[in-house]
Amino acid sequence: MEVVFVHPVRIYYQDTDAGGVVYHASYLNFLERARYEWLRELGFTVDTMIRSHKMIFLIRSLGIEYFKPAVLDDLLDITVQVVDIGRSRITLQQQILREQGTLASATVHAVCVGAETLKPISIPAPLRQKIEKQSS
């Protein structure tokens, strides 16, 4: 069974461009918020990761495809699904949905790095276990 985390996002005026549609870069913010809330649900806030585990995730690469525009006052669902997890990296598939229609799709490659060194380190065992448990 595929486990997918879903985070709702309402479109506000500040998210739109002069044409009244969501500005393309705003979608990246929505994806980031969903990843943050997904980690929070797993019990790992950014503060916890930095203070307790001395690590953060950096985005190594992100590919996004846009299919349909979102507009002011839309209620979107932003999904997060683990595709692959390695020693220090994680690949996520994210969707931006409106009423079950896909507006955008992204593949995100993140790397776990030391908070002070910014060099790759192993994903902390407690976080890895929660991710693997959720993904199975």
Quick check: is 15 catalytic? no
Q: At what angle do helices 46-53 and 125-135 cross, to 10 degrees?
A: 140
How far, CA to CA in Å, does 123 sit from each of 53, 73, 103, 115, 120?
A: 9, 38, 31, 12, 9
Catalytic-labelled residue, pool 17, 47, 73, 77: 17
Instruction: Supply the residues annotated as catalytic.
Output: 17
